[in-house]
């Protein structure tokens, strides 16, 4: 079971600003930090055998006096969002130091928690660490947080993906200065509800980045950000199927056939950093963002890197979905044409408001079959189902579409079954081809469903599917 630790108030706030832990009141369950590799066998996902150890360390800066102990105030300067970060021994994102020693002292002063042992063979098993949960609220300009994840692959080289799950962002009402700020995006009033905002500005104000680290908690030497931008953009990149991290050996050398590199047996580190630039002010007051950072790894040998990424894509981050994918894959190999039903019935837990009724509800928010295996050259057609009595009329009025997150195919804007035409796409490239209904399974932040207290979410009802093309 995950170990608990005792926090002072300041340390608790700092830790929850970066990595939430259940014992500190973050409300996080004991979900796995990493997921073992899985493979397809008899049309079901079965567990793999990759042995992993894991650890993490957390830094948080809110400019309290003790964080600059041993550092001359004049030796630290902050940079604006338009300043290009130049990695080096005297730099952190958004912060410049006079000397390398100042930067090292700063990291020592802002270390708020470390846990786990990423060493083989006797380190901390990956499943004994909780999933990191980032909670950002009441941020002030200049606040800065960083977490370094360490993982050790003990036996075999592995593919590694970084992802995000359970991402939500909320306005949480408005302070008077926030409401008056010109950068506040504006309010919308719905019948019977308080004014709500189309946009959570904190997602756009906070900057974020991640990179393959050498274990020293900052970008230096030949290291470079794999992605950086607004927190909205970075979380969007990581959502859905996640992002493949480039390993230190080629897939071929690792014995695999996947498109990305493999991580060799041994210890590796990944850093994730966020900071609120100093030129932001009232527009983010009361805003909050919460999300989980997740890693997935599976062995490279004799593997193309599909595995449990598929399960994570289809099932993760779908809090309203009461009928998760059970691992079944509809085998349609050898069929030149395949039909997938859009607007298929599934079970969800929407609020008890019209027209949904009390939860759980059976609603047309699914694809059937959800995951299909086909041969190269197969044409898949998505057909919008229609419903008659005893189903209510609004079943045919819910707009859906079919969109690949990478943009490789799209049916266009969402349309209801009453006006939509079938959409077809021919799959020629082997591999995993995920897709979503944007309004109900988006891998980007979007407005929450009717009847749900306002927030921006990545996915809700889990309307996602995938085509697995195999030779």
User: Rounded CA gap, 46 and 298, in Å?
Assistant: 12
Q: Which residues of the chain have pLDDT under 50?
A: 1-48, 176-197, 451
183-194: pLDDT as tens digits: 444 444 433 444
Long-range CB contact pairs, 421-426, < 8 A, 24+: 422/381, 422/382, 422/383, 422/384, 423/381, 423/382, 424/379, 424/380, 424/381, 424/382, 425/379, 425/380, 426/377, 426/378, 426/379, 426/380
pLDDT at residue number 131 = 62
Verify cis geometry, omega within 30 degrees of 0, for the bond prior to 121. yes
244-257 burial, b if ≥16 CB within 10 A, otherwise e? bbebebebeebebe
DSSP sequence for 365-394: EEEESSEEEE-TTEEEEEEE----TTS-GG
User: Rounded CA gap, 315 and 328, in Å?
Assistant: 13
Q: Is 69 exposed, middle or buried (0-12, 13-18, 19+ CB in 10 A)?
A: exposed
204-248: pLDDT as tens digits: 888 899 999 988 888 887 888 888 889 988 988 887 677 888 889
Average pLDDT, the chain: 76
Sheet containing strand 207-213, strands side by side = 111-116, 52-61, 144-153, 266-275, 207-213, 225-230
Chain length of the chain:
471
């Amino acid at each position: 079971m995950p170990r608990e630790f005792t926090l002072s108030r300041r340390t608790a706030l700092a830790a929850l600003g970066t990595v939430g832990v259940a014992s500190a009141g973050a409300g996080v369950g004991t979900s796995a930090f990493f997921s073992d590799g899985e493979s397809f066998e008899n049309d079901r996902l079965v567990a793999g055998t990759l042995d992993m150890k894991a650890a993490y360390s957390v830094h948080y800066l809110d400019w309290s006096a003790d964080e600059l102990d041993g550092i001359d105030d004049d030796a630290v300067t902050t940079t604006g969002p338009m300043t290009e970060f130049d990695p080096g021994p005297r730099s952190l994102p958004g912060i410049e130091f006079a000397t390398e020693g100042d930067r090292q002292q700063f990291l020592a002063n802002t270390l708020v928690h470390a846990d786990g042992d990423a060493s083989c063979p006797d380190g901390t098993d990956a499943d004994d660490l909780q999933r990191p949960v980032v909670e950002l609220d009441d941020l002030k300009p200049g606040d800065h947080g960083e977490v370094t994840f360490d993982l050790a692959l003990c036996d075999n080289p592995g593919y590694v993906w970084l992802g995000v799950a359970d991402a939500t962002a909320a306005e949480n009402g408005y302070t008077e200065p926030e409401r008056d700020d010109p950068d506040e995006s504006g309010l919308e009033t719905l019948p019977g509800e308080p004014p709500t905002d189309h946009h959570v500005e904190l997602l756009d104000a906070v900057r974020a980045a991640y990179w393959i680290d050498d274990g020293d908690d900052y970008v230096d030497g030949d290291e470079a950000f794999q992605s950086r931008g607004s927190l909205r953009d970075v979380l969007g990149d990581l959502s859905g199927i996640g992002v493949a991290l480039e390993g230190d050996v080629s897939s071929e050398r690792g014995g695999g056939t996947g498109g990305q590199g493999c991580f060799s047996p041994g210890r590796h580190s990944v850093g994730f950093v966020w900071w609120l630039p100093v030129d932001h002010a009232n527009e983010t007051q009361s805003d909050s963002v919460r999300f989980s950072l997740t890693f997935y790894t599976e062995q490279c040998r004799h593997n193309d890197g599909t595995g449990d990424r598929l399960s994570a894509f289809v099932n993760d981050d779908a809090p309203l979905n009461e009928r998760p994918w059970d691992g079944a894959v509809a085998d349609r190999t050898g069929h030149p044409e395949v039909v997938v039903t859009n607007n298929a019935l599934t079970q969800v837990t929407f609020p008890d408001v019209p027209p949904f009724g009390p939860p759980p509800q059976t609603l047309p928010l699914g694809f059937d079959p959800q995951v299909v295996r086909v041969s190269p050259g197969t044409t898949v057609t998505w057909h919008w189902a229609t419903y008659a009595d005893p189903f209510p009329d609004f079943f045919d009025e819910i707009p859906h579409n079919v969109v690949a997150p990478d943009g490789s195919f799209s049916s266009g804007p969402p349309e209801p079954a009453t006006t939509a035409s079938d959409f077809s796409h021919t799959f020629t490239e082997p591999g995993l081809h995920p897709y979503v209904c944007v309004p109900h399974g988006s891998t980007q932040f979007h407005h929450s469903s009717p009847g749900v207290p306002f927030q921006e979410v990545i996915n809700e009802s889990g309307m996602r599917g995938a085509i697995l093309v195999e030779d």
